[in-house]
């Protein structure tokens, strides 16, 4: 996952949205997405959170999250609910998760809650960089949809809870043949690759490419045997002459918009944003499936305000808060009880793929250092052709 890129659209979305409205929380909501009744329901839920006034003893909280990845007006609600002064809720943003991992490994980050992509949770957990969550302090975890519990990168669910999620599939310009199967993408004899030669991009994130190739070959996503990887490498080498590039958001986004690219392996959030500027683009998941990626709420090993951290995680998993947050940032949340508040987002297959499609999708597998080296080696050889 090129996580930095897939969130670029949030900078534009956030810039045009006001936080708390003076008379309620209506300012959290995109007017085109919610009926007035649902807005009123959410206002009532948020006001109940304010009124609960469950004051806690700790008087500070430090949070580190992706840029433009929360409705910051919710921090005011959390302050009122807990009694932590708003100016003592230090909310900072990052762009590169590798930098976060490096800081966690060095120790003394100063943060109490960090949001990490799935693969970073896997690495941080194995290196002992995260504090085990006390689920007794996070009762709202019960609202998580079952499929988002105990995922491969945290199989016992001890160190993380899903914050938001998205999908990896394919985008294409209208008028181009719809991508329905990975045969089109990986098998030159199918005819799709020659038809759109040098107008197709695959993601620069190697694990995404390799896992989709495994799905095409009918292999398990967690199969890292030498035999399977040799098949993957041979398939990618045969595909390579037809590609314009292995590309991140900045390349395929502009390419789809301008017409220099016809088809791109892409992150759903990027295409949701692109549709706002250029309506002639579509997004879908091939019949063989695609990746479900997640961003996760974690507590660093060296957190100083552990109880406040648990309170904040619990707050973000409240159904009303999750609904307000998703509506603002445009990404899917895993809190099933929140979905009734966001019907238009829920009905957008680019945001929430239909259940029958999700059944064919996979979460990123947990990787060993040796498997990461194999991935790197394969892509070096493929790109050399």
Average pLDDT rounded to a whole number, residues 212-231: 97
Domain 3-165+293-358 - what CATH class? alpha beta
pTM over 0.75: yes
- Name residue, tokens 């990626």: 293
pLDDT cut 90: percent of the chain above it: 72
What is the per-residue pLDDT for 54? 60
What is the per-residue pLDDT for 46? 61
- Radius of gyration in angstroms for the set of CA atoms belonging to the chain, rounded to a whole number: 21
Contact 78, 106 (CB under 8 A): no
Average pLDDT rounded to a whole number, residues 332-358: 93
Query: How far apart are alpha carbons 257 and 254 in whole angstroms?
Result: 5
Domain boundaries, given as residue ranges, for the chain: 3-165+293-358, 167-292+366-383
Token reading at 54? 């469950």
Residue 42's pLDDT band (cuts 50, 70, 90): low
Of 3.30.390.50, 3.40.50.1010, 3.40.50.1100, 3.40.190.10, the CATH number of 167-292+366-383 is 3.40.190.10
**Of 141, 139, 13, 20, which Cα lies nearest the Cα of 75?**
20
Q: Are strands 243-247 and 200-203 parallel, antiparallel or unpaired?
A: parallel
Within this chain, domains 3-165+293-358 and 167-292+366-383 share the same CATH topology:
yes
What is the per-residue pLDDT for 366? 87
Contacts 24+ apart (CB under 8 A), 233-237: 233/378, 233/381, 233/382, 235/186, 236/209, 236/210, 236/378, 236/382, 237/381, 237/382, 237/385
DSSP 40-99: HHHHHHHHHHHHH----S---EEEEEETT-S-THHHHHHHHHH---GGGEEEEEES-HHH
What is the per-residue pLDDT for 330? 80
Average pLDDT rounded to a whole number, residues 210-233: 97
- pLDDT at residue 35 greater than cutoff 50: no
Mean pLDDT of the chain: 87
Calculate the dihedral angle through the C-alpha atoms of 185, 186, 192, 198, rounding to the nearest 10 degrees.
80
Most confident of the following: 9-23, 207-221, 316-330: 207-221
Contact 351, 165 (CB under 8 A): no
Q: Are strands 362-363 and 281-284 parallel, antiparallel or unpaired?
A: unpaired
Q: Nearest 5°: phi and psi at 203? A: -65, 150
What is the per-residue pLDDT for 84? 94
């Amino acid at each position: 996952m090129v996580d930095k890129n897939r969130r670029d659209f949030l900078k534009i979305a956030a810039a045009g949205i006001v936080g708390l409205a003076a008379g309620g929380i209506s300012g959290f909501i995109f007017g085109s997405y919610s009926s007035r009744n649902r807005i009123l329901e959410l206002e009532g839920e948020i006001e109940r959170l304010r009124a609960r006034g469950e004051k806690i003893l700790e008087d500070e909280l430090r949070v580190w999250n992706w840029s433009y990845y929360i409705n910051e007006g919710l921090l005011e609600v959390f302050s009122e609910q807990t009694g932590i002064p708003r100016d003592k809720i230090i909310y900072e943003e990052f762009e590169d998760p590798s930098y976060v991992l490096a800081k966690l490994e060095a120790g003394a980050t100063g943060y109490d809650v960090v949001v990490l992509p799935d693969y970073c949770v896997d690495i941080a957990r194995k290196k002992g960089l995260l504090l085990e969550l006390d689920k007794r302090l996070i009762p709202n975890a019960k609202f998580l949809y079952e499929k988002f519990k105990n995922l491969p990168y945290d199989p016992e669910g001890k160190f993380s809870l899903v914050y938001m999620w998205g999908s990896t599939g394919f985008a294409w310009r209208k008028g181009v043949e719809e991508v329905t199967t990975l045969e089109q993408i990986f098998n030159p004899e199918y005819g799709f690759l020659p038809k759109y030669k040098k107008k197709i991009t695959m993601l620069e994130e190697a694990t995404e490419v390799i896992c989709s190739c495994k799905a095409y070959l009918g292999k398990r996503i967690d199969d890292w045997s030498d035999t399977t990887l040799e098949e993957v490498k041979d398939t990618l080498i045969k595909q390579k002459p037809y590609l314009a590039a292995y590309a991140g958001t900045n390349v395929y986004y502009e390419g789809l918009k301008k017409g220099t690219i016809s088809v791109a392996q892409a992150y759903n959030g990027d295409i949701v944003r692109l549709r706002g500027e250029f309506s002639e683009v579509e997004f879908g998941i091939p019949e063989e499936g695609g990746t479900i990626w997640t961003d996760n709420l974690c507590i660093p090993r060296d957190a100083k305000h552990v109880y406040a951290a648990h309170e904040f995680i619990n707050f973000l998993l409240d159904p009303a808060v999750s609904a307000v947050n998703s509506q603002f940032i445009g990404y899917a949340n895993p809190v099933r009880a929140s979905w009734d508040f966001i019907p238009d987002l829920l009905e957008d297959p680019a945001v929430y793929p239909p259940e029958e499609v999700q059944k064919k999708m996979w979460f990123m597998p947990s990787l060993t250092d040796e498997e990461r080296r194999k991935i790197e080696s394969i892509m070096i050889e493929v790109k050399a052709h």
